Structure 1
Amino acid sequence: MKNLILKWNQVSLVKRILVGIIIGILLAVTIPDAAEWISIFGTLFVGALKAVAPVLVFFLVMHAISKHRSGHKTNIKSIIALYGISTFLAGFVAVLASFLFPVTLSLGAGAEDVTPPGGIVEVLKTLLINIVDNPINALLNGNYIGILTWAILLGIALRKAADSTKNTLANFSDAISQLVKWVIQFAPIGIMGLVFDAIVTNGLSALLDYGKLLLVLLGCMFFIALVVNPIIVFINIRKNPYPLVFKCLRESGITAFFTRSSAANIPVNMRLCENLGLDEDTYSVSIPLGATINMAGAAVTISVLTLAAVHTLGIDVDFGTALILSVLAAVSAAGASGVAGGSLLLIPLACSLFGISNDIAMQVVGVGFIIGVLQDSCETGLNSSSDALFTATAEYAKRRKEGKEVRISA
């Protein structure tokens, strides 16, 4: 048994995850009544990732800032710019696709027990409140804006601390990173449980009535992942971007697709950046920040569903007004980390731009919940994989400008 486990661990994680996916599908088809004990593996895996991620971010960022050497440049500004460009372009692509392939909805679905933000001011207010959140409360609730704020401030305060204090921080960071590696080793079993639960609980029949809407949504997301993002990467590194793009999609996107949680995928992205040989001072900040503000998938969801409501109601909208929607979608998505329900609950905010009542907008949110099994999975996969993609892009661009060789392994 020990030799079998050792041989299993020697197989690449991606291949093991694919085996887990296949087993999950087979079990869902053959023994769906066993959901109670198989699904628990997925619940435990996501729970473990969510539990370790806030502590990992807190200590890694604090340690990275405290040991930051004067004159050592990070790429945070470049990465934030890439996040912003990608999110805006995602909204623009979604608007363009909605005009080329207009979708109408059969409104009537409900969205119960959800409260959308009342406006962009409320979204920004929530963002500011999260920044000044109590650090213990931020850690308990996974408020990454608050965690980042406290970690950065404490890291700056500890820059002049004794070496023994910094060594203690380093030891804590290393220990938590090791815990993350242990948790990730269980990804194949966890994803098997998640796949099993998704198929048994939701099936695919509920999605058939929304085929065209899903095609537009997912088509936009795949276009961004496989066309727009590679173009952004190529402009920056002047090399074939696809080895890096596929590596990020394979090692980050697949896990994010099944966990449906950017927060849970932070440890996965940290490990990917480490494997890519990136600067820890940079990715320890950019990855949790990206999980909060890099929301290309959310911008697509907000734009497509809002314009679907517009087409359904027969509202005449010119392209210029719709373009404003892509800007609103990008800004709202980036500032909505503290809003329960994610991108779907920002749809009423976007609908208000076209004078659509909140009652109708909430019916659109209800449609979003119905197709959420695929929409949210693809959205999270796009968002999370591009966090690692743009972190690597910024560092490779910096190396290119310095005349250093840039090697991208597939």
Structure 2
Amino acid sequence: MKRFGLLPRLIAAILLGIFIGMVSPQWVIKITATFNSIFGNFLGFVIPLIIIGFVAPGIGELGKGAGKLLAITAGIAYVSTIVAGLIAYVTSAVVLPNILEVGSMHLNAKNPEEALVPPLFKVDMPPVMGVMTALLLAFTLGLGIAAIKGDTLKNLMNDFQQIVEKLIRNIIIPLLPLHIMGIFANMTYAGQVAMIMSVFAKVFVMIIILHIVILLLQYTFGGAIAGANPLRMLKNMMPAYFTAIGTQSSAATIPVTLRQTKKNGVHEGSADFVIPLCATIHLSGSTVTLVSCSMAVMMLNGMNTSFGALFPFILMLGITMVAAPGVPGGAVMAALGLLQSMLHFDPTLLSLMIALYLAQDSFGTACNVTGDGAIALMVNKISGHKLTPQE
């Protein structure tokens, strides 16, 4: 089953859920709804742990390195991520109202969940702390790790990060297909599935086009700074792009990204510094996907999608997803807390966001790592190195 990748499992779960929703009696849907309720509550319990486990060690690691160059690289990566999010917001605000039925998930009910079959019973799993408390604690611990010379807290947080990663890898990710199957079975039974499937197709196409636009902008800017042909630089990075599509991991793609960045002529020292760092802090592709998917879900539910509501969310995404790409779907897992606290997503909407995001996770990762090569071009020039392209 492990060889059966996450995306095929997700697609199979969606199709099976639709089939179950079409042919099953209500008691079967109640059983799946009960599993979804338990899993959703467990996810709510884990969200603060994910935030602390990812963000605190990620910020702590930024305390090491080349000082000024580290700050410059992190600054460029953050700006690139925020610009990608803003482009995704503007595009979604213009395009999505024309291709989606705004407010259609309400189904004439005050609460969209009223149309769904309720679970047989509920098990409360209150989180150990609120999302904002977890964010503040993660920032405090991360900055503390970066500021002090001791290794005790750093090692503790690294161990905790490994625990959270194993929790996601071994429990949450394997059970997600069952969770998604139950969600789609319930939505099919309630008559919502046709609308949801059309959302998948339309939003997916828009996101892929946005990824291409973002990469062209990044390499146009990087090529202009470095004095290189942006299209040739981008063409050389294609092996990293397709490797990321296959692995769904920024970390696993680092060797290929490094090789292709050096082929573009980036100094070895600059490439060795920038590429591994940006694999954890540069998330332009993931940000495009998260902003676009969240806008789609919010519009379908008639929620507020104003710039004032989304801009703080975009700014926080660049911070909270630090170190998230190390696990499959890590970006959306790290963003769950923001979706819940800043955009007011309930468990059903969080589940829908997971499904929408994971359906194109590999393409977001591919955009992330390919864009790392453009940042390397900029940092290489700032460092005073000239490009020496390899044949």
Calculate the TM-score normalised by the size of structure 1: 0.54
The 1-side partners of 2:334 and 2:157 are apart by 28
The 2-side partners of 1:344 and 1:368 are apart by 10
The 1-side partners of 2:355 and 2:267 are apart by 42
2:33 matched residue in structure 1: none
The 1-side partners of 2:353 and 2:83 are apart by 23
1:119 is matched with which residue: 131, 134, 139? 131
Amino acid at match of 1:288: P
SS at the partner of 2:251?
A: coil
SS at the partner of 1:278?
A: coil
Q: CA offsets, 1:122-176, max 9 Å, x none?
A: 25645746974439966x95999xxxxxxxxxxxxxxxxxxxxxxxxxxxxxxxx
Identity of aligned residues (%): 21
Structure 1 position 240 matched with structure 2 position 229: yes
Structure 1 residues 118 and 259: alpha-carbon distance in aligned structure 2, compared to 1, 3 A threshold: farther
1:312 matched residue in structure 2: 300
Amino acid at match of 2:77: Y
Structure 1 position 210 matched with structure 2 position 200: yes
Structure 1 position 376 matched with structure 2 position 358: no
Structure 1 position 285 matched with structure 2 position 270: no
The 2-side partners of 1:257 and 1:124 are apart by 34
The 1-side partners of 2:89 and 2:225 are apart by 25
Structure 1 residues 244 and 338: alpha-carbon distance in aligned structure 2, compared to 1, 3 A threshold: closer
1:184 matched residue in structure 2: none
1:254 matched residue in structure 2: 242
**Structure 2: unaligned runs, 5 residues or longer:** 1-60, 106-111, 117-125, 147-152, 166-195
SS at the partner of 1:356?
A: coil
Q: CA deviation at 1:312?
A: 1.3
Structure 1 residues 409 and 337: alpha-carbon distance in aligned structure 2, compared to 1, 3 A threshold: closer
Task: Give the 5 Å matches for 1:343-358.
Answer: 343-352=331-340, 356-358=344-346
2:11 matched residue in structure 1: none
Structure 1 residues 303 and 391: alpha-carbon distance in aligned structure 2, compared to 1, 3 A threshold: same
SS at the partner of 2:219?
A: helix
The 1-side partners of 2:312 and 2:156 are apart by 36
2:209 is matched with which residue: 208, 213, 219? 219
The 1-side partners of 2:224 and 2:304 are apart by 37
1:33 matched residue in structure 2: none
1:299 is matched with which residue: 281, 287, 290? 287
Q: CA deviation at 1:273?
A: 3.5
1:80 matched residue in structure 2: 74
| Aligned positions, number | 271
The 1-side partners of 2:158 and 2:335 are apart by 28
Given that 2:262 and 2:389 are in contact with CA atoms closer than 8 Å, whether structure 1 keeps it comes out as no
The 2-side partners of 1:331 and 1:258 are apart by 26
1:389 is matched with which residue: 353, 374, 380? 374
SS at the partner of 1:344?
A: helix
Q: CA deviation at 1:327?
A: 1.3
Structure 1 residues 347 and 387: alpha-carbon distance in aligned structure 2, compared to 1, 3 A threshold: same
RMSD: 4.3
Amino acid at match of 2:378: T
Given that 1:126 and 1:339 are in contact with CA atoms closer than 8 Å, whether structure 2 keeps it comes out as no
Given that 1:98 and 1:307 are in contact with CA atoms closer than 8 Å, whether structure 2 keeps it comes out as yes
Q: CA deviation at 1:365?
A: 2.7
Amino acid at match of 1:97: T
Q: CA deviation at 1:307?
A: 1.4
The 1-side partners of 2:306 and 2:289 are apart by 20
Amino acid at match of 2:131: G
Structure 1 residues 399 and 245: alpha-carbon distance in aligned structure 2, compared to 1, 3 A threshold: farther
Amino acid at match of 2:321: A
